[in-house]
């Protein structure tokens, strides 16, 4: 917990050793949201209602840790207001809402594939904005990971492409890329938990206000929600999404991104797709075929190649 509440810089070698398992844990936390949300949507919830409930629960969970992490340094929020606004509205609210909107009108595999081109967008952003030219190994790793996603998400079977859904998914991709870039800013003085908590609170308020005027439509039900293992009360998936798949995921994700850097963290986060397939089997009974399993292996290989292509940090 100290790593999540402290804003002290971490040495590069120790940061990678701790950041890698934190990034994988964040990916597996995020990965369960789709399975739980699918059950809610099938039960009569709109995507907007599911996302708003998810962010509201997460904001409440992180409220006290955020206050404790700030330790009365409210000036940090004022000095970083622009970044918090971008994080809460773009990296949190827009990303989640756009993805669920895309899933509502198009094939889930296509939506995920478009959103998970975000690591490529991060590479291009760092190159164009900061002049950080990606190494040849990083480019090769990006290609391998992209091919793996195509196979794992079963896109090659010829699923129909929905243009509005593609546009929603592209919006989610931009938000996901912004998440990695903003989370990697370690010179703000904001502890990771404070950034996650303030961003989630802002995103939850923004979605609640937008939902109040019908953008997006908000509708929910208190009926039990059915999953592979049986039916559960509606608040079980809501709490699972809010506490584990959001509050814990964002906290671990920001901490690991500051340790690994936005480029490497964005590729490690591809493990979320593997986690989503696992949770899809556990919650919904969906099993990947041989082609998808091959894609998962390629994604892992791509992450390793990107790691080998990362520049070696000079000794401190």
The string of DSSP letters for 193-255 reads HHHHHHHHHHHHHHHHHHHHTTSS------S-EEETTEEE-THHHHHIIIIIIIIIHHHHHHH
Stretches in the chain below the pLDDT threshold 70: 1-15, 107-110, 152-162, 184, 186-187, 288, 307, 310-316
**pLDDT value of residue 59:** 92
Q: How many CB atoms lie under 10 A from the CB of residue 170?
A: 15
User: Do the Cβ atoms of 176 and 30 come closer than 8 Å?
Assistant: no
CA proximity to 207, closest of 198, 220, 197, 217:
217
**pLDDT value of residue 201:** 92
Report the alpha-carbon distance of residue 273 to residue 146 in Å, rounded: 12
- Residues of 132-155 as b/e, b for ≥16 C-beta within 10 angstroms? bebeeebbbbbebbbbbbbbbbbb
Residue 285 CA neighbour count, 13 Å, CB half: 6
What 8-state DSSP symbol labels residue 286? -
- Residues of 31-63 as b/e, b for ≥16 C-beta within 10 angstroms? bbbbbbbbbbbebebbbbbbbbbbbbbbbbbbe
Instruction: Report the Cα–Cα distance between both ends of the chain, in Å, rounded.
Output: 25
pTM higher than 0.85: no
Strand partners, 225: 232
**pLDDT value of residue 271:** 82
Report the alpha-carbon distance of residue 55 to residue 72 in Å, rounded: 24
């Amino acid at each position: 917990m100290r790593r999540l509440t402290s804003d002290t810089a971490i040495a590069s070698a120790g940061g990678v050793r701790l950041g890698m398992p934190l990034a994988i844990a964040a990916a597996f936390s995020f990965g369960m949201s789709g399975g739980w949300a699918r059950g809610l949507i099938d039960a009569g919830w709109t995507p907007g209602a599911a996302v708003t409930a998810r962010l509201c629960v997460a904001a409440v969970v992180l409220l006290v840790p955020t206050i404790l992490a700030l330790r009365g340094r409210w000036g940090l929020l004022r000095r970083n207001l622009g970044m918090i606004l971008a994080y809460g509205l773009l990296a949190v609210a827009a990303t989640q809402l756009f993805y669920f909107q895309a899933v509502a009108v198009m094939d889930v595999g296509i939506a995920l594939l478009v959103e998970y081109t975000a690591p490529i967008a991060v590479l291009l952003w760092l190159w164009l904005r900061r002049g950080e030219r990606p190494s040849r190994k990083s480019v090769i790793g990006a290609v391998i990971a992209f091919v793996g996603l195509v196979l794992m998400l079963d896109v090659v079977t010829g699923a129909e492409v929905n243009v509005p859904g593609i546009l929603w998914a592209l919006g989610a991709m931009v938000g996901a890329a912004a998440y990695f870039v903003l989370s990697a800013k370690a010179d703000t003085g904001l502890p990771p938990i404070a950034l996650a908590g303030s961003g989630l609170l802002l995103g939850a308020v923004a979605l609640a206000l937008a939902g109040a005027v019908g953008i997006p439509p908000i509708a929910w039900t208190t009926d039990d929600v059915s999953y592979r293992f049986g039916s559960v009360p509606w608040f079980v998936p809501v709490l699972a999404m809010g506490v584990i798949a959001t509050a814990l995921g964002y906290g671990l994700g920001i901490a690991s991104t500051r340790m690994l850097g936005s480029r490497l963290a964005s590729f490690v986060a591809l493990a979320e797709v593997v986690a989503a397939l696992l949770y899809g089997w556990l919650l919904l009974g969906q099993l990947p075929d041989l082609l998808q399993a091959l894609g998962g292996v390629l994604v892992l290989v791509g992450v390793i190649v990107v790691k080998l292509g990362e520049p070696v940090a000079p000794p401190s």
